[in-house]
Amino acid sequence: MIKPSDVDDAAERIAPFVVHTPVLRTDALDEWLSATVFVKAEHRQHTGAFKFRGATNAVQSLTEADAARGVAAHSSGNHAAALARAASERGIPAYVVMPENTSPVKVASVRGYGAEVTWCEPTNEARRRGLDAVLARTGAVEIHPFENPRVIAGAGTAARELLVEVPDLDVLVTPVGGGGLCSGTCIASAPRRVIGGRPVDRFATIADGLRTGTSPFTEAILQAHDVELFAIDEDAIVDAQRAVRDHLGDRIEPSAAVAFAAARTSNLRGLRAGIICSGGNVSGP
């Protein structure tokens, strides 16, 4: 069981490495969502996403003997980049298995941090097979993108920081792919209301960071905390991405936009809402 104290410990462990990201506000976004909105700007985190928090907590928690083996994971991009940078910070190798349809900007980021990339077909089964082969070849330690207590505790530090700055929030909103961010948010913010947004069709969505789906481990956490989940269609994702650009002035990736779309779909009228903006790794104008 992951406890709030684990999130506290993670916050202390990763403090020398991560950005304490700002909380952003605009009247225009408040009006669009009919709420008082506080955006935790994890798209301004190192590697452009909240994932650096969990990867850093996991990597910095390894013993010297385990760290020397290197670390490995499968990822559609943001966890891969986060793990690559976290490994680089500790001076150890990183190996990542990535689907062939991963965003080019995310691939460039992973390679820029020095990780070895292995390609696979864009299915969960292919990702797992590819990673198993890498683990057998390298002897590296697997750092799962979300089914890892250290990763989840690290992800929860974003909500923890937000609540230190804005303690009187009524609700927190996150996107949901594997469920690590939402799980960490639940643990850090309990007993507050938590809303999650996930694509209607995770296999075909433009929100490439949310294509994996939750595991029994993360699903159990979400259910234990009564997370309200909303299915978000592609038009709503695009509209939310555009609204954040127009009202906040920042470009965010479709996966992050899912949280804003979920906030708009749910009834937040008159509430004080915190939205974890998960990432900003997007190519194009």
Strand-strand pairing, 141-142 and 71-74 = parallel
pLDDT of residue 123: 85
pLDDT of residue 200: 97
Cβ atoms 253, 281 nearer than 8 A = yes
pLDDT of residue 263: 98
Bridge-partner residues for 174, per DSSP? 196
Share of the chain above pLDDT 90, in %: 87
Residue 283 has pLDDT above 80, yes or no: no
Domains of the chain: 4-50+148-277 (3.40.50.1100), 52-142 (3.40.50.1100)
Cis-peptide, bond into residue 191, ω within 30° of zero: yes
Separation between Cα atoms, residue 53 and residue 160, nearest integer Å: 12
Q: What integer is the mean pLDDT of 198-209?
A: 92
Q: pTM for the complete prediction?
A: 0.94
Q: How far apart are the first and last CA of the chain?
A: 43
pLDDT of residue 285: 53
Buried b (16+ CB within 10 A) or exposed e, 59-91: bbbbeeeebeebbbbbbbbbbbbbbbbbbbbbe
Q: What confidence tens digit (pLDDT) does each residue in 102-127 have?
A: 878 778 889 999 999 999 998 889 99
pLDDT of residue 228: 98
Separation between Cα atoms, residue 256 and residue 278, nearest integer Å: 5
Q: What integer is the mean pLDDT of 229-246?
A: 98
Q: What confidence tens digit (pLDDT) does each residue in 256-278 have?
A: 999 999 999 998 999 999 999 99
Q: Tell me which of 84-93, 190-199, 274-283 is least confident.
A: 274-283
Q: Helices 254-265 and 234-248 sit at what angle, rounded to 10 degrees? A: 100
pLDDT of residue 145: 92
Residue 284 has pLDDT above 80, yes or no: no
Mean pLDDT computed over every residue of the chain: 95
In eight-state DSSP terms, residue 140 is P
Bridge-partner residues for 118, per DSSP? 97
Separation between Cα atoms, residue 148 and residue 109, nearest integer Å: 23
Q: What integer is the mean pLDDT of 162-166?
A: 98
How crowded is residue 233: how many other Cβ atoms within 10 Å of its Cβ? Answer: 14
